[in-house]
Amino acid sequence: MQLARMGISHALFERASPGGQALAANWIENFPGLPEGISGRELMRKFLDQAGSHGVRIELGDVVRVDKHLEGFLLSADGHRIAASSLVVAAGLTPRRLDIEGEQALAGRRFFAYVDPATVPHAGIEVVVIGDGDAAFDQALSYSKNARSVSIAMKHDSPRCTQALERRVRDAGITVLPSHIARRLEERGDRAVITFECGDRETTIEARLVVACAGKERKLDFLPYALQEPDARGVFMAGDCRIGRMGHVAIAAGEGIKAAIDAAEYLRTNGNHLQTGRS
Ligand SMILES: Cc1cc2nc3c(=O)[nH]c(=O)nc-3n(C[C@H](O)[C@H](O)[C@H](O)COP(=O)(O)OP(=O)(O)OC[C@H]3O[C@@H](n4cnc5c(N)ncnc54)[C@H](O)[C@@H]3O)c2cc1C
C-alpha cells in the first residue's frame, strides 16, 4: 500500500490466503486505534479493502525462487518469471513440526498446525490444542465457540500467555492440562488418539481434531542465503520473517511501511534499472 501511495510500480504475491497468520487470530486487542479489539479475520478484511482502494493488486502465486538478475532480481512464481529492481520480503513464519510419530499421517485430516478455525469444521466435536503460548490460548478460544469441548495440552506446568488470555480461557470453560508432552498420534475410527508423557507416566486423550500451536520458524527457502542477510542490497525485510519469531500485526504493518520507504529510497539512489513486470 505504501509503494502504491508513492506511485511505485509493484507486484504483491501471496501463495495462500491474503491476510496471513492474523486470519487465525480470535481477537486482536493490541492494534492501535481499535480500542474494543477486533477479530483477526475482520482486521485483515479492512487491510485488504484499504489496499484495494489504493490500487494494490494481489497476485495469487507462490514465489518458489529468486535469482540475482542484472542489477535486480528475477522471481519465479507459478510458471512465470517476474523482474524487479527491489524486493520487500514479508513472508512470515512456518509452523514448526512437533516431530512425533503419526504427525504426518494425520496431517490435514485430524491434525493441523495454527489453522484458521473458519477453514476446519469443528462444530460439536472435541478439540485438543497443543501449546502453551498466546496463539494456543487464542486458538482454543476460537474453537470453543462451536466445539463440544476444547482442551489445551501444555508442555510446561504453567501457561506462557498473557493473563487476559488465561482468564478468558478459564471463563470459557476450556480445560487446561499442564505438563502434557505430546509423544504420539494415532487414528482410531474418526478420532485421533494422542499419547502424552506426564512426568513418569503416559496418558492418552481422544479428540476428533488436534491443533498444534507449538512454535513457528523462519523458512525462506525461495531466497538465496546471501539475500537473507540484513545488509543484502535491494532486499528489505518486514514483519515476523525479519524478527524470526511470531510478533504482532501492528509491528508487521509498521515494518512493511518502513521497508517500502527504504525500497523507494534505494530505487531513487541506485536507479530503477528494471521495470517490474512478468514474462
Ligand atoms: C493464533 C494467532 C493469534 C495471534 N494473535 C495476535 C494478536 O492478538 N495480536 C497481534 O498483534 N498479533 C497476533 N498474532 C501474530 C500476528 O498474526 C503476526 O505477527 C502477523 O500476522 C505477522 O505478519 P507478517 O506479515 O509478518 O506474516 P504473515 O501473517 O505470516 O504473512 C506472511 C504471508 O506471506 C505468504 N508467503 C510466505 N511465503 C510466500 C511465498 N514464497 N510466496 C508467496 N507468498 C508467501 C504467506 O502465505 C502469508 O500469507 C497471532 C498469530 C496467530 C497465529
Q: What is the CATH number of the domain that holds 61?
A: 3.50.50.60
**Domain shared by 245 and 201, yes or no:** no
Give the pLDDT confidence score for residue 158 in this predicted structure. Answer: 97
pLDDT in tens, 212-222: 999 999 999 99
**Of 164, 193, 216, which one is at a domain's C-terminal end?**
216
**Domain shared by 187 and 118, yes or no:** yes
**Of 216, 232, 260, which one is at a domain's C-terminal end?**
216
Give the pLDDT confidence score for residue 128 in this predicted structure. Answer: 98
Whether pLDDT at 276 is above 80 = no
Give the pLDDT confidence score for residue 94 in this predicted structure. Answer: 94
Give the pLDDT confidence score for residue 29 in this predicted structure. Answer: 94
Backbone region of residue 102 per phi and psi (left: phi > 0; alpha: psi in -120 to 50; beta: other values): left
Residues 22-27 have a mean pLDDT of 96
Rounded to the nearest angstrom, the distance between the alpha carbon of 18 and the centre of ligand 1 is 10
**Domain shared by 108 and 168, yes or no:** yes
Residues 105-114 have a mean pLDDT of 95
CA 102 – CA 186 distance, rounded (Å): 6
**Of 171, 194, 216, which one is at a domain's C-terminal end?**
216
Q: What is the number of structural domains in the chain?
A: 2
How far the first Cα of the chain sits from its last, in Å, is 24
Q: What are 132's three cell numbers?
A: 502453551
Residues 229-251 have a mean pLDDT of 96
**Domain shared by 244 and 263, yes or no:** yes
**Domain shared by 100 and 210, yes or no:** yes
**Domain shared by 100 and 67, yes or no:** no
Whether pLDDT at 101 is above 90 = yes
Residues 256-277 have a mean pLDDT of 84
Closest CA to 169 of 202, 213, 108: 213
Q: Is the CB of 23 under 6 A from ligand 1?
A: no
Q: Place 60 in a pLDDT band, splitting at 50, 70 and 90.
A: confident
Are 115 and 95 a contacting pair, CB within 8 Å?
no
pLDDT in tens, 152-190: 999 999 999 999 999 999 999 999 999 999 999 999 999
Q: Place 278 in a pLDDT band, splitting at 50, 70 and 90.
A: low
Pairing of the two strands 63-69 and 72-77: antiparallel
Rounded to the nearest angstrom, the distance between the alpha carbon of 278 and the centre of ligand 1 is 26
Rounded to the nearest angstrom, the distance between the alpha carbon of 168 and the centre of ligand 1 is 23
**Domain shared by 199 and 258, yes or no:** no
Give the pLDDT confidence score for residue 277 in this predicted structure. Answer: 53
Q: Whose CA is nearest to atom 39 of ligand 1?
A: 91
Range of the domain at 29: 2-93+218-278
Q: Is the CB of 47 under 6 A from ligand 1?
A: no
**Domain shared by 208 and 138, yes or no:** yes
**Domain shared by 85 and 156, yes or no:** no
Is the model's pTM score more than 0.75? yes
Are 62 and 15 a contacting pair, CB within 8 Å?
yes
**Domain shared by 241 and 173, yes or no:** no
Rounded to the nearest angstrom, the distance between the alpha carbon of 21 and the centre of ligand 1 is 3
